[in-house]
Structure 1
Amino acid sequence: MPEPYGRDGGGEIALVDTLDRLLAGGVVVSGDLTEEQEERIGLTLMLLDDRMTELRERYGLRPEDLNLDLGPLGPLLPRE
């Protein structure tokens, strides 16, 4: 199995996945953006989601494998 950065690349993939979920969840307030900016963000998120799927498949990871465990605080994102 390829190793992009670090031991298995899971940390980097988890970070990107977390950012993708936060942005897709509405962290950006659309009223502050032009229509063109909203379209660019939407396209970027779709491309990011596609790339995340490719990376998960490449490294044999499931989406739930990327939910960072914050110890006593629990998982970073709600479990699906």
Structure 2
Amino acid sequence: MLQDSKQSGRINLDPDSAQDGLAQLVMTVIELLRQVVERHAIRRVEGGTLTEEQIEDLGIALMNLEEKMEELKEIFGLDAEDLNIDLGPLGNLM
């Protein structure tokens, strides 16, 4: 029997709660992609290649995406630590 994901930082693969483990995995992938997009956006802003309007639009889009992630974490009963899964010898994902 695997430990509870909240205690171990690992995905819970218990057959009785497979849906929860899948939700955790999907949300982790989405959060990882959100962070990559955010870092790329910051590099573009710092690079000076965007107009003021594009910067404004990008900021609004990133805030909306973060709000949606918070809503989804609440719906699935997850918090930030749940999305930072343990990759064994590689360490934590984020």
Q: Give the TM-score normalised by structure 1.
A: 0.70
In structure 1, what is the equivalent of residue 89 of structure 2?
Answer: 72
- Root-mean-square deviation (CA, aligned residues, Å) is 2.0
What are the superposed Cα offsets for residues 3-27 of structure 1, whole Å, 9 maximum, x if unpaired? xxx8332222111212223333x33
Query: Who is 1:39 aligned against?
Result: 56
Taking the aligned partners of 2:40 and 2:85, their CA distance within structure 1 comes to 19
Q: Deviations over 1:21-48 (max 9, x none)?
A: 3333x33321232222222221111111
Determine the structure 2 residue equivalent to 1:53. Answer: 70
Question: Which secondary structure state, in structure 2, belongs to the residue aligned with residue 7 of structure 1?
Answer: helix
Aligned partners of 1:36 and 1:70: how far apart in 2? Answer: 40
The runs of 5 or more residues in structure 2 that have no matched partner are 1-17
Q: Which residue of 2 aligns with 1:3?
A: none
Select the structure of larger CA radius of gyration. Answer: 2
Pair 1:13 & 2:27 matched: yes
| Structure 1 consecutive aligned stretches of length 4 or more whose deviation exceeds 3 Å | none
Count, aligned residues: 71
| Contact 1:18–1:67, Cα closer than 8 Å, also in 2 | no
Cα–Cα, structure 1 residues 37 and 62, in superposed 2: closer, same or farther, change >3 Å? same
Structure 1: tracts of 5 or more residues without a match = 1-5
Q: Partner of 1:27 in structure 2?
A: 40
Q: Is the 8 A contact 1:56 1:62 kept in 2?
A: yes
Higher fraction of helix: 2
CA distance in structure 2 between the partners assigned to 1:7 and 1:69 by the alignment: 19
